[in-house]
């Protein structure tokens, strides 16, 4: 038996002054708290870690403050293309989607692909067709559009550059979302969801839906969800790197997570952070960016913070 524990993140990067203002900050903290409360409540009632993390991420996708689902950033074409993945540490099953448009909850689609298809990863139009066949809820572009993200995009449009959604100093809406959990049976799971990076090329896929890069879970080691500049996380295979350090190098969760971010990712020139949990309920949340949105809940501790 393990003590159920759940962790969430809401992105990493610079924390703009506007967010540090108490009333705005409270909105983020409350949103992360709702996700934790709901996910933890399920774990306490016997739900699996997988069910808990999918619920936590769905709640954050539905909250327009975060760059996932509603509130996703704009691509270079002024559209929204979302990526998401889930992984079950019990059997190493995984599901992922990339570049999907109009789907209200990409994390649920990733979960469905894992459970009801012979595939792990569907992208673009075929992922949307699959969602239609499985009667997923679609929303019009206006649902995903937020004034803030539109302004953010206008500033980068034409620059030929893409930007982490939280790297401009007047942001008041933040990042990619993710959750990791351990349930009472000691099973681990992870879910990650994102709109990607502002002004990203059409078809650009980040680390979040790539198993091993931004998302990974294995009961033998840990569950990991990453956030930051995806290209570096892909090159460093960062989520799997944490697991490997534990499996082959016998590092503790904390050592493994710390090295993956502050050694491996940093040496590549990458910025970001991750959340991780092991079967004993230990958690790690390192980051090398200026800040990170994160929180956790178990029977001993609950907190949400913007550092």
Residue 179 interacts with ligand ASP (CB under 6 A): yes or no? no
Strand partners, 182: 5, 188
**Least Cβ distance, residue 303 to ligand ASP (angstroms):** 21
Stretch that binds ligand ASP, among 15-23, 190-198, 245-253, 259-267 (CB under 6 A): 190-198
Q: What is the rounded radius of gyration, in angstroms, for the C-alpha atoms of the chain?
A: 17
**Which of these is catalytic: 146, 176, 192, 198?**
176
Kindly state the smallest distance separating residue 175's Cβ from ligand ASP, in Å. Answer: 4
Regarding 291 and contact with ligand ASP (CB under 6 A), the answer is no
> Considering beta carbons, is residue 136 or 233 the nearer one to ligand ASP?
233
Considering the rule CB under 6 A, would residue 212 count as an interface residue with ligand ASP?
no
Work out the angle at residue 274's Cα, subtended by the Cα atoms of residues 216 and 61, and round it to the nearest 5 degrees: 80
If one asks whether residue 228 binds ligand ASP (CB under 6 A), the answer comes out as: yes
Give me the residue label for tokens 């190098």: 249
Distance CA(271)–CA(54), nearest Å, equals 26
Binding positions for ligand ASP, 130-159, rule CB under 6 A? none
- Give whichever of 87 and 279 is closer to ligand ASP, judged by the CB atom: 87
DSSP-derived 3-state class of residue 26: helix
Of 2, 75, 227, 243, which lies in the binding site for ligand ASP, with binding defined by CB under 6 A? 227
* Residue 11 is a binding residue for ligand ASP (CB under 6 A): yes
The answer to the question of residue 97 lying near ligand ASP (CB under 6 A) is: no
Cα angle 112, 117, 118; round to 5: 140
Binding mask 65-94 for ligand ASP (x = CB under 6 A): --x---------------------------
* Stretch near ligand ASP under the rule CB under 6 A, chosen from 39-47, 54-62, 207-215, 235-243: 207-215
* b/e per residue 177-197 (b: at least 16 CB within 10 A): bbbbbbbbebbbbbbbbbbbb
The conformational region for residue 102 under phi > 0 = left, psi -120 to 50 = alpha, else beta, is left
Candidate residues 4, 111, 206, 286; the one interacting with ligand ASP per rule CB under 6 A? 206
Residues 6+ apart with CB under 8 A from 67: 11, 73, 149, 165, 166, 173, 174, 175, 176, 177, 194, 195, 196
Q: For ligand ASP, which residue of 47, 49, 164, 224 counts as binding (CB under 6 A)? A: 164
Determine the 3-state secondary structure of 64 from DSSP: coil
**C-alpha distance from residue 284 to each of 88, 150, 229, 260, 273 (Å):** 19, 34, 19, 11, 10
176 as an active site residue: the answer is yes
Minimum CB–partner distance for residue 219 and ligand ASP (Å): 25
Binding-site ranges for ligand ASP (CB under 6 A): 11, 67, 164-165, 175-176, 194, 196-197, 206-208, 214, 227-230
Active site residues: 176
């Amino acid at each position: 038996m393990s003590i159920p524990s759940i962790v969430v993140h809401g992105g990493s990067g610079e924390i703009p002054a506007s967010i540090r203002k108490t009333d705005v900050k409270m909105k983020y903290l409350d949103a992360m708290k709702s996700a934790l409360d709901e996910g933890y409540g399920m774990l306490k009632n016997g739900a699996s870690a997988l069910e808990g993390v999918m619920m936590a991420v769905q709640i954050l996708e539905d909250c327009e403050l975060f760059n996932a689902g509603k509130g996703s950033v704009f691509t270079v074409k002024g559209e929204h293309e979302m990526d998401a993945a889930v992984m079950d540490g019990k059997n190493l099953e995984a599901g992922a989607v990339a570049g999907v448009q109009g789907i209200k909850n990409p994390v649920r689609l990733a979960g469905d692909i894992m459970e009801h298809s012979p595939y792990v990863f569907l992208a673009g139009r075929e992922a949307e067709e699959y969602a239609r066949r499985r009667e997923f809820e679609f929303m019009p572009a206006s649902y995903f559009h937020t004034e803030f993200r539109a302004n953010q995009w206008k500033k980068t449009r034409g620059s030929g550059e893409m930007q982490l959604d939280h790297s401009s100093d007047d942001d008041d809406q933040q990042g990619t979302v993710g959750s990791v959990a351990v349930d009472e049976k000691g099973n681990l799971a992870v879910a990650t969801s994102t709109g990607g990076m502002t002004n990203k090329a059409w078809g650009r896929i980040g680390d979040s839906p790539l198993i091993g890069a931004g998302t990974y879970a294995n009961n033998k080691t840990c569950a990991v969800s990453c956030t930051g500049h995806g290209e570096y996380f892909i090159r460093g295979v960062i989520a799997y790197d944490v697991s490997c350090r534990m499996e082959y190098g016998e590092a503790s969760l904390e050592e493994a997570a710390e090295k993956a971010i502050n050694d491996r990712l940093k040496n590549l020139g990458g910025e970001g952070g991750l959340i991780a949990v092991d079967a004993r309920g230990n958690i790690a949340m390192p980051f090398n960016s200026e800040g990170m949105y994160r929180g956790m809940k178990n029977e001993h501790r609950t907190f949400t913070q913007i550092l």
